[in-house]
Structure 1
C-alpha cells in the first residue's frame, strides 16, 4: 500500500526522461574511457632526421707527424712449479742395547687396572739436559783431567781454572772437583771488588758476568761491588796459563875440593854436583852425586806407541800409550835420584839426573834400577803400567831443567 503511494507521486513522462539521461551519461563515460586508452597505447612518432651539412672546400690542415708506435713483444709468463722444502727431521732411534732390553720385556697377559704400567718404547728418545748450575764431581778410578772434561763437554782449562791447581795436577780417586756448566772461570771473590775489575782480570765483557743465568746479578752494573766470599761464574773467561806440574823441590849444588894427591894436581879445585829431589816422598833417593851424564835425546819407548796426550802448559809431559809391561829405556846416561811411588799421582816413578837436566818416567809397573845407580843411555830401566792417576796403560815422559820445571820433550827428540 505504501509502495503504491510512492509511485503515484511521479508522473510517467518524468520517469522516461530520467532513464534516457542515465543512458547518455553511461555512453559518454564509455567514450571517454576508449579515448584515454587510445592515447596511452598509441606509439610515439620518431623525430624527422635532418641531413648534416657537407663542406665543399678541400682540407687545409696538415697531418700530424706521429711516428709509428712499436709495441714490445709480449713476454710469455713462466710458471715456476713450487718445490717442497725438505724438513730437517731425523727419525728417532735408540741404541742397540736399549732396543734389545725393550724387546726382552715379558708380554703383559692381563691388565691390572689398579696399577699403572710403564710402556717401554725402544724408539723413545731421552733428550740431553744441560746442567743448570755448578756441580761437584768426585773423581772415579781410571779417570783423568781429559776424560772428565770430555764427559761434561767442557775444556780441561775450565776445570783447572775452577779448582785448586795443586789438587787438579795431583788428582786422585775421590777428589771433589767443581764442574761449571759452561767454559770459563769459577772465581771466589777474596776481597770486595767491582764486576768490571773481575771482567778485566779474566778478559771478558762485564755484562757477560751480569747477564749470566748462573749468577744472581741481574740488574747490576759494571760498578756493582761484589762482596768477599761470593763465587762468580765468568763465562768465556781466561785464567792463568802458568805451567802446572809436580814441584817436589830440587836442590842442585856444586861442592869443590882441592886435589893435592900429586905435585902436578896440587891446588886444583874439583867440583862435584849433587841433587836432592823430592825430599819426604817415599821414592826420594836423598842427596846424590850427579856429575856427568848425557843429554836425554834417546827414545824412552822402542815399541810402537800412540801419543795420547801431548805437552802443554797444563800437562808437563808426553803420554805414550802402550800395553802394560812394555820396556822403558833411559833417554840418556845419568844417575837415579828418585825411584818409587810419587805422592803427586804419577804412580811408580823413576827420575834420572843427566847433569843439570832431568828425565822422568811415570805410571810404571816396576823398575830395574836402584837409588844412586848410574845407568847408560838406552838401558832398560823399567816396564810400563797403569799406576797412580792414570786413565790406561801408558808412559808419562817428562824432561826438566835445573830448576825442576818441565820443558817440551820435543826440544830434545822427535816422537
Structure 2
C-alpha cells in the first residue's frame, strides 16, 4: 500500500513541475509579444496631419499657415472629422472630409469636396445648367462672384437662364481688352493689380510688350467704378466674309463665329490692315491677327497654313491662309473673332451658308 501512495505522490510532483513550466513559458510569450507591439519598439513613421487654417494660400507657392510655415512641402494627409461649412468664404475655400491627399501644387479648387491640381490659365466658357446660380458657379470654378459678374457684364440682381453662356476666368480678378495707347502700368493702376503678376500670368515677355487686341487677365484685379466701353461702330460693308462655308457655331468666346468647310479652303482678310501677329496657341492652333486702321483686330484660327508675315500690309480680300483643324478642334473650320467691335457675322444663324455670290 505504501508503494502505491509513493508512486502517486511522485507522479503529482512531476506533473506539478510540468504545469508550472508551461505557465511560465506561456507568460514569457505574452510578455515578449506585448513589448514587440509597443510603440517604443515599432519603427513606423508618424502620420503628419496638416494643422487647420482658414488662410490657405492657393497658388504656385507652397501652401502656408498663419505662422507662415510651409505645410505642403511634400504630400501629406489633411484630416478633418467633418466638412466645415464655415470655410465657404469669398475666397471659395470649401470644407472636405478626411482623408484627402493634398499635393504641393494646388492651383484650383472645386466645390465637390476635392482639390484639382492644374496649371490651366485658359479663359473658359460655361453653359448654365438648370438650377445653377451665380454663387454656385463661382464656387464650382473657385473664383469670386464679382469675377463672374465683371467678365459677363452682370450684377448681383442679374438672372441667368439654362443654356446661357458665361465667361469664366481662370483666377479671381478682372479681364482687359488692350486698346490703342494702353500700357501695362496704366492697366495695373486702373484695376489695382500688379505689373509683375500681369506679366507672369499672361506669359508676356519680360519687357511687358502688349498688342492692341490682347486679352489680359489681371489676377486679383478690381473692376473700376466706371469702366470704359470700347466698341468701334462698323459700316455694313466694312468687312467681307473671311471664307466660304457654313456657320457651324454661333457667337462664343471671344466674340467669335465658326465657319466650316473643307480643309484647305482659302481664308481672306475681311478688311485692309496690317498683319499684327501670327503663330500657334494650344486652342486656336495656327492663327493670324490683323490690326485694321480703326483699331479693330480680327483673329483667324485653326489654319492649316499661314501665307503672310508679321508687319505685312494686306488689302481687303487678300488670301492670308488655308482652313484647317489645328489646335483644339474636332473638324475643319475657321474660328473668326472680332476684338473692339461687334462681330458682323452674329446675324447669321447656325447652318447658314456664307458666300460672296
TM-score band (shorter)?
0.3 to 0.5
Report the TM-score when normalising by structure 1: 0.33
Q: Which has the larger radius of gyration?
A: 1
